[in-house]
Amino acid sequence: MATITFENVAKIYSGQNEVRALDGISLTINEGEFVALLGPSGCGKSTLLNLLAGFEKATEGTLLFDGETVTRPGPDRGVVFQEAALFPWLNVWQNVIFGPQVQGVARADYEPRARDLLKLVGLEAFAGALPVQLSGGMRQRVGIARVLAMSPRALLMDEPFGALDAQTRLSMQQLLLDVWQSLGTTVLFVTHDIDEAILLSDRICVMTARPGRIMRTIPIALPRPRSIASLTSPEFMAYKAGIMSDMKV
Query: Taking a C-beta distance cutoff of 8 angstroms, is the pair 110, 97 a contact?
Result: yes
Contact between 75 and other proteins (CB under 8 A)? yes
d(CA 82, CA 159): 5
d(CA 157, CA 147): 10
- Identify the residue among 1, 17, 18, 72 touching other proteins (CB under 8 A): 72
Contact between 160 and other proteins (CB under 8 A)? no
d(CA 135, CA 112): 25
Closest CA to 69 of 78, 58, 83: 58
Q: CB 103 → other proteins: shortest distance, Å? A: 4
Q: Which is nearer to other proteins, 72 or 248 (CB)?
A: 72
**Segment interacting with other proteins (CB under 8 A) among 25-33, 70-78, 119-127, 194-202:** 70-78
* Binders of other proteins in range 112-151 (CB under 8 A): 130-133, 146-147, 150
Contact between 98 and other proteins (CB under 8 A)? yes
- Orientation of helix 107-120 relative to helix 136-148, angle to 10°: 140
- Identify the residue among 87, 135, 235, 241 touching other proteins (CB under 8 A): 87
Query: Taking a C-beta distance cutoff of 8 angstroms, is the pair 150, 78 a contact?
Result: yes
Question: Could you list the residues that contact other proteins (CB under 8 A)?
Answer: 53-55, 72-75, 77-79, 81, 83, 85-89, 98-99, 102-103, 130-133, 146-147, 150
